[in-house]
Amino acid sequence: MEVNLFSCVVCIPTGSIRRRSLPKSITTSWRLSNQDRGAGQWLVFRDDGRITAANYAKAASEATAEGRAVGEWDFWDQFDPSRPIQRRRVFITKLLRGTFTGLSYMHSRGRLHQSLGPASVIMNTMEERDALFLVPHLRDLAFSADVSDQALFGTAAFGGSSNRDPSLSFAAKDVSLESAAASLSEGLWLRASAAGARMALERKAFGLADDIYAGGLLLAYIVFASLSEPGSIDGPSLQRLLESTFQLDIRAAREYCLADDRWAEAVQFLELDDGAGWELLQVMLNPDYRQRPIADAVLNHRFLTGAIL
């Protein structure tokens, strides 16, 4: 069984819980003491699911082509074909909100994800009728980088006492180049230097913005892969389209996408609220890392807080 970093692991006295009272999402194992069976302990693991956002996008694409829901139908779906698509939009919005909530939490704790993508988001359900109970979690944190105040300045807070000069380079203060963690982040800091981010706070800002950029690509993938005809678009092709073909000019990309009927549902979703989805993509994929929003600003954007919810 895979153990998610964010799974809850607790030990509970056997006298305070009964196996039959546990939810289905709880997997348990236990050991009873040889001396006193009543004093044994439960070891409880919360199973937050193994479905990835990539799994959902594939299933949703097939459902979009067939005009049905992912999971169980509602009775009225047979009379109103727009209902499954409406629920899909709500589900996608909840999925994206949960993902960026997790990213915001990581950033607030001084951690970068650095591997954000459809396979790094796991879900407890992909039943679109159960969007209210959807809980996405982030995984794949092997490349996560520490940009906390402690790592940057050797102190728990910017206002704390420290003899270090904040203008010193990040590499001189934060990362031991001999450590395995440093080697995994080496590419990030090389890209930061190439973008002109050489001081500690500049590199931290670049790292945060780099996660936001990956989040923008994830947003584009989830919307297009879930709401387009199966096989008409995939992650690498979409990334090449945005980065190479249109050089991150989202307005030009929008005109191109409007002309492809296979992507009609995805385009219509991004067009809601006067093009709120395209607007969010443009700011998240801004070529200048200094102009990208923080995770909290993404969460507060009208595309993720609008009437669709």
Q: What are the sequence ranges of the domains in the chain?
A: 9-46, 51-146+176-305
pLDDT, position 106: 96
Amino acid at 216: G
Considering Cα of 242, then 246, then 247, then 252, what sign does the dihedral take?
Answer: negative
pLDDT, position 218: 98
Fold of 51-146+176-305: Transferase(Phosphotransferase); domain 1 (1.10.510)
- Indicate the burial class of 40 (C-beta count within 10 angstroms; 0-12, 13-18, 19 or more): middle
pLDDT, position 79: 75
pLDDT, position 40: 62
pLDDT, position 153: 77
pLDDT, position 150: 85
The angle that helices 82-108 and 53-66 make with each other, rounded to 10 degrees, is 160
pLDDT, position 121: 97
pLDDT average per 10 residues of sequence, the chain (309 residues): 42 45 44 51 73 96 92 77 89 97 96 96 94 94 90 60 44 45 80 92 95 98 97 95 97 96 96 96 97 97 83
Strand partners, 132: none
Which residues touch 63 (CB under 8 Å, ≥6 apart)? 69, 70, 84, 88
pLDDT, position 260: 95
Which residues touch 219 (CB under 8 Å, ≥6 apart)? 96, 277, 280, 281, 284
The CA R_g of the chain, rounded to the nearest whole Å, is: 22
